Every structure is written in C-alpha cells, then in structure tokens.
Structure 1
Amino acid sequence: MYALITGASKGIGKEIAVELAKQKYDLLLVARSEGLLRQVAIEIHEKYGVQVQYLSVDLASVDVARQVFDWVEKNQFQVSVLVNNAGYGAVGNFDTYTIEQNRDMMNLNMATLTEMCHVFLPMLKRQPKAYIMNIASSTAYQALPRMAVYAATKIFVLNFSRALKYELKDTSVSVTCISPGATDTGFNDRASVPDKARKAAEKVAMTPQEVAKISVEGMFAKKTEVIPGFLNKLGAFLAWIAPKAITENVAAGIYQ
C-alpha cells in the first residue's frame, strides 16, 4: 500500500513522508519542484528501504487532482493514505494582491485539496483501513487581518474535514485535520511575514519533525482534529472564547 503526500518536497510534507516511511509505507510524493522531489525520494529510499515514486506538477492548476489520480491509476498504485499538505499563504492587505494571486491560493488550499479527496475516495473506501490527513493551520480558528484569504481557506479545510469525517464514519476511511502553529519551515519567507510576526512566532515555533510525528500519530489514532503543541492548543482555545474584535485586533497588530 502507498501513502500519497502533496507538497512533499520540503517542510512538514517531507517529514510526514519520513514518518510514514518509518512505518514501511511505500510513498507517492507530489509537488512542483522535480529536483527537490528526486532528492527526497532518493534520501528516503536509501534510509528506509521503501519504494518512493514522485510526480512533479503545479498543484494550484485546474483539474490537477484528476491528473494525479490518472498517474496513480496508470501505474496501478494502491493508495491507503492520502495527505493533503500542499498550500501557501501571503501577508498583506487583501487588495494588495491580484485576483489571480488570490485565486491561485484558493485553488491550492481549498479546491485541489477537496478534489484530491473526491477522486481518491473510491480507492480509499476499497481498502480495509484508509486515512485522509488534511493540513489546515492554527489560523483556522479565527479571522486574520492581513492574511484574510489564507486564514479563510484554512477555516474551510477544518470544517470540510470535520464534515467529511462524519460522512465517512461507517466506512473504512478516517479523516484527520491537522492545524499546526508556527513551524520552522520556509513559510515566513514565501509569505513575506514581517519581522514583528517572525519574532513572535520564534517563541512558540515547532520543528517540522515534531509536527509530522504528532500528525501521523493523530491520524492513525483516528483523531478528528489535531493541534500540535500545548501553546497552539491554548491559542486556539483563547481565540474561541475571546471576543472576535479583540483577537482580530491583536492579530492585525502582529502582522503590521
């Protein structure tokens, strides 16, 4: 059986692949950078002895989920674990980004994730045990000024995952949503996160290895929701109980 991981060329996605390789899952890695994918595939195969195949595609493109599924079907891979990790964010007021930039973010963070679940669900249902892991974010628990679209996409991921878990409760497929907080990846650079927010994140940041281990354990335990790290759990709880105007004002101040 194979585990398929999107956004698997670096960061949390790569470390989730490592954790699954430790449990002797063969891997299907999907991301945009062919060079990085090849490097990760060789590294994991040599260290853990599992089969590792990869596909280089732009996961923000339209109908990419069908393209990934066709590749899997053509090669007769049987997928029992689907990890939707690919996603990205951008910091700045909503109108500083073009319609195309916001659309690409929404496509990747929401549409591709949803469509991957849709096209692979029949295959997953045929397995004695199957798992879907969707990566959201700690931003899924509140509106986030200056990251308005990104946070909104992660709210979608969280609520979609919870609803899908319920719909599949009488099947062999379990769904888990992971909501990491600050993690030591290249996210801050890609999203142009300001120095003030970076310094705040440094105090609570987890490593990709820590997040991946907690995520995989939570998935196999069939948890519905996992927030890695005590401080991230506390932050989500406080965002839930505090007046929205207060949490939004605090968040806006951090991302100035």
Structure 2
Amino acid sequence: MKTALITGASRGIGRAMALVLARQGYDLLLTARSADQLEQVATEARQLGRSAQVLPLDLAGAGAAAQLAAWVTAQTQELAVLVNNAGYGLWGRFEELPLAQQQNMLQLNMHLPVELTYALLPLLRRQPKAYILNVASTAAYQAVPTLTLYAASKAFLLSFSRGLRYELRETSVSVTCLSPGATTTDFADRAGMNADLQAVANKVSMTPEQVAEAGITALLAGEAEVIPGALNKVSAALTSLVPKGLTERIAAGIYEKHLK
C-alpha cells in the first residue's frame, strides 16, 4: 500500500494533512514529540480504514533525521509521500532572543527537511509516482522584522523546494511548496506572541483543514507552489512589486509595535 510520512503530525496543519491523506487512501507514518497526540491522530486515521504507525521523537535533536529515516525504511518500502511540516517560529528582536533557541528553530525548519529528504529520496524514487511537500510560509516571500530568522528559514525552504523540483523534473518525484498565512494553530503561542498580536492574526486566519486541503490538492496535482487564501496570494504577489524597504516597514508595523 502507498504510504505517507508526515512530520509534525500531532496537531494543527500536520494533523489535518495526515487525515486528508488517509482519506485519499494513504497509510500513514506519523512523527512529532507528543506520543499521546500522535496516537489520537493515528486512531482517527484507522477509523478511516488506513494503517497508521507513530514515532514520538524530538525532531530537532541530534541524529533525529537519521533515526526517523531508519524507522521509515523498516516500516515500508512503498513510501510515496514525504511531508516536511515540522517547524515553529520565534517572535522578538534577533539580539534579544536566546541564540540556542534560535539555532534549535533553524535545525527544525531547515536542516531536518534537508537531511530527511536526502535520506528518503532513494526510497521515493522507487515509486511510479511520489511527492514531497515542504511547508513554508507566506513569510518566505519577504523579510519580517521580529520574525527575522523564522522568515529567513522559510525563504530557504521555498528556494530549496524550487531548486529540487527542477532537479527532479525528469524523475517520478514531484516537489511542492505550501506557504500558508495566518492559521488557527498554536504557532503564535509557540512563537511567544502576545494576545494583541494574536488577535490581529486571528482576523485573517484560515483553519488547518482549509490549509491542508489546499496543500494536498496541489501536491497530488503536481503543482510547484501553493498559497492558500486569496488575501495571502495577493499579499505574496505584492512583495515582488513593492520596494523591499516598504514591505519590511509594513511588516514591522504589524509585528514590532506589539513588542514591549
């Protein structure tokens, strides 16, 4: 049976994508830190008639990608979908945030997807058709003051997706980059955003289910990039037309003014 691996699958967009893929007929391999939450997602997938295995793992830890790849290889030789979803943000001025926390974020947002893709690409290429979905952000399209390294890490992931897609254009593996905007997940809490800023984001937030449906639909259609939501599409498009300094001032006006 065709199988999908989803990182960061315990909640939010990862959980929603796992269930969309289950409904599409994929067996699931799920990983994140929370064993209990992973089991809940696996139970829901099994209720849809799919097999679901879980690996609780700190994906930012040393050797996590190698450990995960070995587990996947032991579970299946029919990996057809890799969803690099695990990641988080940190809100605050670069010089004021602990460097160790920022390095941990970069490990999860950038190094894990690169290492995991490298390890699992030979397995994916064995399939008649296989897919890689990298979850970036609309922040990938511009610099975002006070989310500086987060935005930079997502810009890296977008560029990585574009380059890899071209390299694999004559193979059976298709690469798609999903760039959501504000979504009703625990991203803001994890990033350390205050209630005022969260209230601003909630006005334009999409649900994880909406983002997941858009992402998986684009993935299986072989699209290069997808930005869910009309407002998010317009916002990302404008960043290529408006002077960079202006987009950065606009972003700072949203995020920086809420800092204490």
Classify the TM-score, shorter chain: over 0.9
Q: Letter of the aligned partner of 2:9 in structure 1?
A: A
Q: What root-mean-square deviation, in Å, do the aligned CA atoms of Structure 1 and Structure 2 show?
A: 1.0
What are the superposed Cα offsets for residues 51-105 of structure 1, whole Å, 9 maximum, x if unpaired? Answer: 0001011111122111011112223452110000000001000012222111100
> Match for residue 6 of structure 2?
5
**61-70 vs 103-112, greater mean Cα deviation:** 61-70
Q: How do 1:183-198 and structure 2 match up within 5 A?
A: 183-198=183-198
Stretches of structure 1 lacking an aligned partner (at least 5 in a row) = none
Q: Is the 8 A contact 2:214 2:228 kept in 1?
A: yes
Q: Letter of the aligned partner of 1:58 in structure 2?
A: D
Q: Letter of the aligned partner of 1:241 in structure 2?
A: L
Q: Letter of the aligned partner of 2:244 in structure 1?
A: K
Query: Hey, what's the Cα distance between the residues in 2 that align with 1:155 and 1:197?
Result: 22
Q: Is the 8 A contact 1:34 1:56 kept in 2?
A: yes
Q: Aligned pair 1:232/2:232, yes or no?
A: yes
Query: Hey, what's the Cα distance between the residues in 1 that align with 2:198 and 2:247?
Result: 18
So what's the TM-score if we normalise by structure 1?
0.97
| Counterpart secondary structure, 1:3 | strand
Q: Is the 8 A contact 1:196 1:255 kept in 2?
A: no
Q: How do 1:192-207 and structure 2 match up within 5 A?
A: 192-207=192-207
Percent identical pairs in the alignment equals 51
Q: Is the 8 A contact 2:19 2:44 kept in 1?
A: no
Q: Letter of the aligned partner of 2:50 in structure 1?
A: V
Query: Hey, what's the Cα distance between the residues in 2 that align with 1:77 and 1:2?
Result: 9
Structure 1 segments (4+ residues) deviating >6 Å? none
Query: Hey, what's the Cα distance between the residues in 1 that align with 2:225 and 2:75?
Result: 33
Q: Is the 8 A contact 1:193 1:255 kept in 2?
A: no
> Match for residue 31 of structure 2?
30
> Match for residue 59 of structure 1?
59
What are the superposed Cα offsets for residues 153-192 of structure 1, whole Å, 9 maximum, x if unpaired? Answer: 0000000000000000000000000000000111111112
| Counterpart secondary structure, 2:60 | coil
Q: Is the 8 A contact 2:9 2:30 kept in 1?
A: yes
Q: Is the 8 A contact 2:3 2:76 kept in 1?
A: no
Query: Hey, what's the Cα distance between the residues in 2 that align with 1:77 and 1:181?
Result: 34
| Counterpart secondary structure, 1:177 | strand
Query: Hey, what's the Cα distance between the residues in 2 that align with 1:143 and 1:194?
Result: 21
Q: CA deviation at 1:199?
A: 2.8
Q: Is the 8 A contact 1:196 1:254 kept in 2?
A: no
Query: Hey, what's the Cα distance between the residues in 2 that align with 1:43 and 1:75?
Result: 20
Q: CA deviation at 1:134?
A: 0.2
- Number of residue pairs matched by the alignment: 255
What are the superposed Cα offsets for residues 116-168 of structure 1, whole Å, 9 maximum, x if unpaired? Answer: 11000000011000000000000000001001110000000000000000000
**55-64 vs 73-82, greater mean Cα deviation:** 73-82
> Match for residue 209 of structure 1?
209
Q: Is the 8 A contact 1:194 1:255 kept in 2?
A: no
> Match for residue 167 of structure 1?
167
> Match for residue 87 of structure 1?
87
Query: Hey, what's the Cα distance between the residues in 1 that align with 2:7 and 2:74?
Result: 18
So what's the TM-score if we normalise by structure 2?
0.96
Q: Letter of the aligned partner of 1:140 in structure 2?
A: A
Query: Hey, what's the Cα distance between the residues in 2 that align with 1:74 and 1:171?
Result: 24
**52-61 vs 194-203, greater mean Cα deviation:** 194-203
Q: Aligned pair 1:241/2:202, yes or no?
A: no
